[in-house]
């Protein structure tokens, strides 16, 4: 019988309550495990005897392990290959930023170094986006809330994590219950991450977006839009057929009305597919009445899987100028991170054998700078 992760909060709380153990001991247990990942349950002091019995018979401190750690050549990105107890693998990526290197309104930014963790919510993904390596894996399984949180535990031993983005393997809103529980755990002691520092990215699962603000008020929402019209979206994102653009935009309107927060729009730039001037104008008209930040993402090649080409720099800048200058939409261009270790956007796939070119990230803009400016 497989033991559950001690970070599966719902299961642990239920087992404790059934055994007469006060759940207030849970943060203490988590803190001990974070500091001592190879601990025995008896190493944790001052727990009720029934708590030790529950932990010993039904839970493990960590159900996953770090199989490998790969650093990019520029030392700003680290990819963790994490092995689950069922033998499957997922990937998480640490991205390091130094706010002081960038400028805002012509002046150096305040602050200093910080790290953002990109984590996975599923093994594989059923969305099948044509430009994404993870989609080529197909869907294998959902992660439990504990398996999601354990990625943060592993990463925290390498770098102090300030922000978390659900932009790794899988569609987070297709694993809704585990996602919500994992985010709630991350916002509790001992992690204490503000919901303002957690971002969930989705291709646009409308019925889940409709619930998200009530379940996780304050959370940042990112939408993988990638095309300004339904026809192009369906060509590159098969899931768009189930979630038409008109219904998605209506859901975002309601979400924004309730949350009063900006929505983060992700737009991958595919040469000759969605990067022409007309597409920029279509996108501007689609979004001009919303409070959004558009992030233009240069396409990251995925070796033999690649059917697309990366848009040229001039096209990307022209696209950005149209959105900014004509439609007054805040628009950023994502800098490449971790491309040489297949840790960049769209490159997360277990056992990918294609070699990637080595790149340097340069000055980087963090999710925190984009969302909270």
Of the three residues 21, 41, 60, the one that is the final residue of a domain is 60
Q: Is the pLDDT of residue 50 over 90?
A: yes
Out of 17, 37, 60, a domain closes at 60
- Tell me the average pLDDT across 296-302: 87
Confidence band, pLDDT 50/70/90 cuts, at residue 184: very high
User: 125, 171, 345, 368: which one is catalytic?
Assistant: 345
pLDDT interval class at 305 (50, 70, 90): low
Task: Output the average pLDDT for the chain.
Answer: 89
Same domain, residue pair 46 and 152: no
* Same domain as 250, residue 334: yes
Query: 68 Cβ partners below 8 Å, 6+ apart?
Result: 80, 81
Which pLDDT belongs to residue 331?
A: 97
Same domain for 331 and 359, yes or no, is yes
What pLDDT was estimated at residue 104?
62
- What is the total residue count of the chain? 373
Residues 49 and 170 placed together within one structural domain of the fold: no
Question: What pLDDT is recorded for position 370?
Answer: 52
Question: pLDDT band for position 289 (50/70/90)?
Answer: very high
> Does residue 128 share a domain with residue 27?
no
Query: Band of the pLDDT at 74, cuts 50, 70, 90?
Result: confident
pLDDT digits (tens, 9 = 90+) for 307-362: 899 999 999 999 999 999 999 999 999 876 545 544 444 444 555 333 332 323 33
For residues 267 and 287, membership in a common domain is answered with yes
DSSP reduced 3-state for 110: coil
Q: Looking at residue 136, what is its pLDDT?
A: 75
Kindly state whether residues 53 and 84 are assigned to the same domain: no
pLDDT tens-place string over residues 249-258: 999 999 999 9
CB within 8 Å of 130: residues ≥ 6 apart: 235, 236, 237, 238, 307, 308
Categorize the per-residue pLDDT at 101 as very low, low, confident or very high, splitting at 50, 70 and 90.
low
Question: 143 and 40, same structural domain?
Answer: no
> What is the CATH number for 121?
3.20.20.70
Number of structural domains (the chain) is 2
Which residues in 72-121 belong to E strands, given as ranges? 77-83, 89-98, 103-104, 107-108, 113-118
| Average pLDDT of the segment spanning 14-27 | 98
Name the domain boundary from 60, 85, 102: 60
Question: From the candidates 11, 15, 91, 150, which is the catalytic residue?
Answer: 91
Q: Does an H or E element contain 34, and which?
A: helix 26-35
Nearest alpha carbon to residue 221 among 191, 187, 183, 276: 183
* pLDDT at site 366: 54
State the virtual CA torsion across 129, 131, 136, 140 in degrees, nearest 10: -50
Residues 12 and 137 in one domain: no
pTM: 0.88
Q: Is 63 helix (H, G, I), strand (E, B) or coil?
A: coil
Comparing 21-35, 39-53, 229-243, 330-344, the range with the smallest average pLDDT is 330-344
One domain for residues 78 and 137: yes
Same domain membership, residue 20 and residue 88: no
Q: Is 147 among the residues known to form the active site?
A: no
CA atoms of 65 and 84, how far apart (whole Å):
7
Query: Among 186-190, 216-220, 241-245, 359-363, which is the least confidently predicted range?
Result: 359-363
Q: Is there a single domain that holds both residue 205 and residue 76?
A: yes
**Does 345 participate in catalysis according to the annotation?**
yes
Strand partners, 270: 310
* Residue 27: pLDDT over 80: yes
Q: Which domain, by its residues, includes 341?
A: 65-372
Question: Which alpha helices (H) appear in 114-205, and where do they start and end?
Answer: 133-137, 145-156, 176-186
Q: Enter the tokens of residue 96.
A: 């390091």
């Amino acid at each position: 019988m497989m033991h559950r992760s001690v970070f599966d909060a719902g299961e642990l709380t239920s087992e404790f309550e059934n055994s007469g153990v006060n759940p207030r001991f849970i943060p203490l247990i988590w803190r001990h495990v974070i500091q001592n990942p190879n601990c025995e349950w008896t190493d944790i002091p001052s727990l009720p005897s029934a708590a030790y019995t529950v932990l010993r018979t039904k839970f493990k401190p960590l159900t996953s392990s770090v199989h490998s750690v790969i650093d990019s050549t520029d030392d700003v990105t680290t990819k963790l290959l994490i092995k689950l107890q069922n033998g499957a693998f997922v990937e998480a990526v640490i991205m390091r930023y130094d706010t002081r290197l960038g400028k805002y309104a012509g002046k150096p930014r305040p602050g200093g170094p910080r790290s953002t963790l990109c984590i996975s919510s599923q093994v594989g993904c059923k969305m099948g986006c044509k430009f994404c390596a993870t989609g080529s894996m197909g869907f294998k399984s959902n992660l439990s809330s504990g398996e999601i949180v354990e990625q943060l535990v592993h990463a925290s031993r390498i770098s102090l994590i300030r922000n978390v983005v659900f932009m790794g393997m899988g569609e987070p809103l297709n694993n809704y219950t585990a996602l919500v529980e994992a985010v709630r755990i991350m916002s509790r002691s001992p992690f204490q991450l503000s919901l303002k520092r957690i971002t969930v990215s989705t291709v646009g699962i409308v019925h889940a977006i409709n619930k998200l603000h009530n379940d996780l008020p304050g959370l940042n929402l990112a939408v993988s839009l990638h095309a300004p019209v339904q026809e192009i979206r369906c060509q590159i994102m098969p899931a768009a057929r189930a979630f038409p653009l008109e219904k998605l935009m209506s859901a975002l309107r309601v979400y924004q009305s309730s949350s009063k927060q900006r929505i983060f729009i992700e737009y991958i730039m595919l040469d000759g597919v969605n990067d022409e001037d007309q597409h920029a104008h279509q996108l501007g008209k689609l979004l001009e009445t919303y409070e959004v930040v558009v992030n233009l993402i240069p396409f990251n090649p995925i070796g033999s899987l690649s059917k697309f080409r990366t848009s040229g720099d001039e096209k990307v800048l022209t696209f950005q100028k149209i959105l900014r200058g004509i439609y007054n939409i805040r628009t950023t261009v994502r800098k490449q991170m971790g491309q040489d270790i297949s840790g960049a956007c769209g490159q997360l796939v277990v056992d990918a054998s294609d070699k990637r070119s080595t790149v340097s990230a340069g000055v980087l803009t963090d999710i925190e700078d984009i969302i909270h400016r």
